[in-house]
Amino acid sequence: MTIRLRNPFKLRNSEKIDSDASFLRIYSPNVLESLVEKDKQQSLWNDILFIRSSPGAGKTSLLRIFEPTTLVTLFNSKSQTALKELREFLKKLHVVDNDKINLLGVSLHCTRNYENLEDLAISDAQKKRLFFALINARVITATIRGIIQLKQSDFPSDLDKISISYTNEHNYFKNISFPCTGKELYIWAENIEKKVFDAMDSFLPIEQIQPEGHDELFAFYALNVTNITFSGNNICNRILFMFDDTHKLSATQRTLLLKFILEKRGNQSIWISERLEALSNEDSLGSFMDRDYNEINLEEIWQNKESKFRAIAQNIAERRANVSTEDVTSFEENLEVNINEVTFNQNFINGFEKSLKNLEYFSEYTSKFDDWILYLKSHDGTSFEKARIARSAEILANKNMNVGQLTMDVPMTVQQLDALITSEIQNATEYFLAIENKIPYYFSFERLVKISSSNIDQFLQFSGDLFESMLSNKIASKNIILPTEVQEKILRRSVENRWDELPRLIPHSKLVIKLLQKFQEYAFKETNRPTIPYAPGVTGFAIKAPNKMKLIEERYWLEEEVARPLVDVLATCISYNLLERRTISQGKKGSESTTVYYLNRWLCVKFNLPLGYGGWRSLKSDDLLKWLK
């Protein structure tokens, strides 16, 4: 059954979509581009891949694409043109071809009672053995169920069609002989899981229950495609084991799981999906480039590929709007991109007059800008055009003022003014004109994408609120297209709701909020300096050593005990996508790079800051620590 919802943008968790057909219909396949790149680098299969992000970036949805029921639904829908792009991506990944599905994806969710093992009154060694036994059992049952789903057979009646051959030379499997049927192995694994659950639920001593424990995670190696047949035929070309939400394991369990998998490093394909909050503070703030394993950070991969994330957002918006029950089948087209100049005519006039007055003030001390003033006074353009040129001229006048040579200045020509109004000045002009004169700035699909900061959940939240207004307008027989001022009002309200949620959602929330607010005060002041030295504005910071001139290596302040509160706060900000960490290279090629922490763009809306990147300042770690006090 295909999903039909009033506002499909409000459906933000893929696990809440029961139908695979509905999930496929609204899924944007462009996300798979990062996997195609990994495959080209030969680092996608037969190895360990970590998929990390802050909440809402699309980790679970990405894994769901590779689950057998999803692949079967896709494979059986060859005539659906809406799924053609996804099929092409999966062909590039060798997951499907025209004749068959080549991959069995085995999904293991780490939300299923694993942490309860920590409450047992047994030794740590026993807890480890039961944890490994539970993982092995669930890998086996999930794999066998997956085979049945992949072959579109019946469970449990067709389990005997599965045959598993394994030498068992290390005697990992007790109380079962090979070769065996899928039914026999399934029952064996099910009994192990049941015994472990009995130990967790019973008041009896564990010695009386005697659950089976394991010293190794051997299920991955036993369940090799060469060892398994279905009705005498190979099941597929590759098995992919996918651990989802490993951050929900206890810290000890996560360490045990990852340590074993990383140390063994067989030729199995294992993907581990988790939130950034699972990382240590040092790992959160350090560069993933230094790690000795493959990783995809779903937000960082789009940081320097804004056009590609825009394409993903556009695809998502189009697919979601198409399944609305209210027949509002477009999203982007219903977002006005131009400010209504009639509605804001007086605001533009006010902006023009303020800039002209400031230029006339300069003329009391210099003749340098006299031609510009005459040009502006005689300009016959619209109020918007005049306000924009006047504000650009004011910015350039501030930049060009040279108090020591005022009496000797030669007037600057109108031609010079035109030449000096670069794209950087234009961007700054639009921002200042809007903020200073109550003119909309945060509107349009382009800026919605920026505000989403490469996070799909953010995009869906903000888009959902905008789409809700479109639906309300349609029901009320009003114009569906949202004016710029309405878009900004909705986005600001949505941002405020997100801000109000922070104390409930994040650790160290009081200190995090204090740091963000203090940086906002600093950034807004720096952004609004008359000469705009960091156009279009300051939205990020790097950290330098106290009382030293040059930027320092990350390890310096990370290892200082006195900086522990700052480390905790910054790591939280990175893990929960409040700050975006970017590596900036300046100067000649090969020169040292700098880690810059930029505000997530929705915080720029909250703090009335521009949306562009590039403007950042170096701050001392001890000054940042003072902000936290």
Tell me the pLDDT tens digit for each residue of 5-59. 789 998 877 656 778 988 898 888 888 988 999 999 998 999 999 999 988 888 9
pLDDT of residue 39: 93
Q: Could you tell me if 393 and 417 are in contact, meaning their C-beta atoms sit under 8 angstroms apart? A: yes
Tell me the pLDDT tens digit for each residue of 367-411. 899 999 999 999 999 999 999 999 999 999 998 875 444 445 688
Q: How far apart are CA 288 and CA 295, in angstroms?
A: 8
Tell me the pLDDT tens digit for each residue of 316-367. 999 899 888 888 989 999 999 999 999 999 999 999 999 999 999 998 888 8
pLDDT category at 308 given cuts 50, 70, 90 is: confident
pLDDT of residue 15: 59
Q: Could you tell me if 471 and 6 are in contact, meaning their C-beta atoms sit under 8 angstroms apart? A: yes
- Specify the DSSP element, H or E, that contains 348: helix 345-363
**pTM score, whole prediction:** 0.87
CA angle 451, 55, 141 (to 5 degrees): 145
pLDDT of residue 403: 45
Q: How far apart are CA 219 and CA 221, in angstroms?
A: 5
pLDDT category at 566 given cuts 50, 70, 90 is: very high
Among 42-51, 327-336, 415-424, 545-554, the range scoring the smallest mean pLDDT is: 545-554
Is the confidence at residue 100, as pLDDT, over 80?
A: yes
Tell me the pLDDT tens digit for each residue of 575-602. 999 999 988 876 556 557 788 999 999 9
pLDDT of residue 79: 86
Of 170, 184, 245, 175, which is closest to residue 215 (Cα–Cα)? 170
pLDDT of residue 406: 47
pLDDT of residue 590: 56
Q: What percent of the chain has pLDDT over 90?
A: 66
| Domain map (residue ranges) of the chain | 45-278, 344-437, 506-628
pLDDT of residue 64: 95
pLDDT category at 550 given cuts 50, 70, 90 is: very low
pLDDT of residue 629: 87
DSSP for 453-501 reads: TT-HHHHHHHHHHHHHHHHHHHHTT---SBPHHHHHHHHHHHHHHHHHH
pLDDT of residue 204: 67
For the record, the structure tokens of 172 come out as: 């990992």
CB atoms within 10 A of CB 156: 13
Tell me the pLDDT tens digit for each residue of 445-498. 999 999 999 899 999 999 999 999 999 999 999 999 999 999 999 999 999 999
Tell me the pLDDT tens digit for each residue of 507-517. 999 999 999 99
| Residue range 240-262: mean pLDDT, rounded | 94
User: Among positive and negative, which fits the CA dihedral 382, 385, 387, 393?
Assistant: negative
Residue 408's contacts (CB-CB under 8 Å, 6 or more residues apart) are none
